[in-house]
Amino acid sequence: MTASDLVVSVPTDQLAADLQPLPAGVELVVWPMDAPAPRDRFDMVVPPYMSMAKVLARLEGVEVGLVQGQSIGYDGVAGLLPDGLRFANAASVHETSTAELAVGLTIAAQRRIDAFAVDTAAGRWAPVFADSLADRRVLVLGWGGVGTAVAARLAGFEVEITAVASRARVEDGVTVHGVDELPSLLPDAEIVIVTLPGGDATRGLVDDTFLAALPDGALVVNVGRGPVIDTDALVEHVRRGRIRAALDVTDPEPLPADHPLWGLPGVLIAPHVGGASSAMRPRVARLVKRQIERMLAGEQPLNVVLGG
């Protein structure tokens, strides 16, 4: 090691192996962040996946050039990150997998695949006449990386897509509506796919008023963050047979064993696995390698969302 080495901490031996080969002058340190920092300085630290809330305090007093998260979402990180540190999210890593799951949940709910899975386990032959995905009016709420990836995968299903984001604009030829237009858009939406991030700006956006504006039988799919939906309002609308739901994220999360969403007819739940697929490992490694290459070249890192 020399004074000019770039020192990078990764949480697992697997990620260290996935990063090989690395350019000369890069030192990898495997640090799961389950103990005090083994160094007083790192050029980059990659915390473990899905457990940043428990470990970021270990960076207190450590000199760190960049904290590179492994998730797209970063709500709550600002309150946990020691002062003065920069944080980058994992944009480019999870969009594809999350979009796959969003479309999968939509098809499963529309074509009753969840019910067929139960019938399979019970040895029961029970045909149904189901709702198609084809010809449906789909409102994608959130027009960032995941939202646009969802729309790209829906393109072959012969649906009518309405894009909604925080502000109205035309992006890559697509007319994107602002959230202030939702009252006029929701009555026509047969399927709403939520891809919004968490935080105060989106908390409770899908509330009783939002759900009441949807037509009877509408499907709400959430692959963004659980608190975007008012859970009590959703439960009430589903219980009345007004709305169906397919959720990869919930509020609270994980759901307690006695939560009313469990076993509620018309609800399909996945346990926050949007990014948890075989696509993740190579894409995380690709992003970390790009950050290392940019640091070696004296360039600014990608995806800096805090402390930039």
CA 250 to chain centre: 12
Is 299 catalytic? The answer is: no
Reply yes or no on whether the pLDDT at 2 is more than 60: no
- Report the Cα–Cα distance between both ends of the chain, in Å, rounded: 29
Q: Which of 86, 177, 225, 244 is catalytic?
A: 225
Q: What is the reported pLDDT for 4?
A: 58
pTM of the model: 0.93
CA neighbor of 192 nearest in space, from 152, 221, 150: 221
CA 127 to chain centre: 34
pLDDT tens digits along 261-299: 999 999 999 999 999 999 999 999 999 999 999 999 999
219 forms beta bridges with 191, 244
Reply yes or no on whether the pLDDT at 124 is more than 50: yes
Tell me the average pLDDT of the chain: 96
221 forms beta bridges with 193, 246
Please give the Cα distance from 175 to 111 (Å, whole number).
29
The secondary structure element, H or E, covering residue 150 is helix 145-154
3-state SS of 183-230 is: HHHHHHCCEEEECCCCCCCCCCCECHHHHHHCCCCEEEEECCCHHHEC
Please give the Cα distance from 151 to 160 (Å, whole number).
10
Q: How confident is the model at residue 97 (pLDDT cuts 50, 70, 90)?
A: very high
Say if domain 94-269 classifies as CATH 3.40.50.720: yes
> Which DSSP category does 301 fall into?
P
CB 223 within 8 A of CB 146: yes
Q: What is the reported pLDDT for 1?
A: 40
Reply yes or no on whether the pLDDT at 170 is more than 60: yes
Please give the Cα distance from 87 to 308 (Å, whole number).
8
Phi, psi at residue 267, to the nearest 5°? Answer: -120, 130
CB 109 within 8 A of CB 219: yes
Is 181 catalytic? The answer is: no
CB 72 within 8 A of CB 95: yes
Longest dimension (CA), the chain: 69
Q: What is the mean pLDDT of residues 159-171?
A: 97
The 10 Å Cβ neighbour count of residue 166 is 15
Q: What is the reported pLDDT for 3?
A: 47
Q: How confident is the model at residue 160 (pLDDT cuts 50, 70, 90)?
A: very high
Q: What is the mean pLDDT of residues 6-31?
A: 97
CB 67 within 8 A of CB 85: yes
Q: Which of 63, 171, 253, 293 is catalytic?
A: 253
Please give the Cα distance from 196 to 222 (Å, whole number).
9
For domain 6-93+278-306, give the CATH number: 3.40.50.720
Q: What is the mean pLDDT of residues 109-113?
A: 98
Listed in order, the ranges of the chain carrying CATH 3.40.50.720 are: 6-93+278-306, 94-269
pLDDT tens digits along 221-267: 999 999 999 999 999 999 999 999 999 999 999 999 999 999 999 99
Is 253 catalytic? The answer is: yes
Q: What is the mean pLDDT of residues 187-210?
A: 96
Q: Which of 39, 58, 259, 272 is catalytic?
A: 272
Q: Which residue has the tokens 């894409």?
A: 283
Lowest pLDDT segment from 43-57, 126-140, 170-184, 281-295: 43-57
The 10 Å Cβ neighbour count of residue 234 is 26
pLDDT tens digits along 53-85: 899 999 999 999 999 999 998 988 999 999 999
CA neighbor of 296 nearest in space, from 38, 27, 14, 18: 27
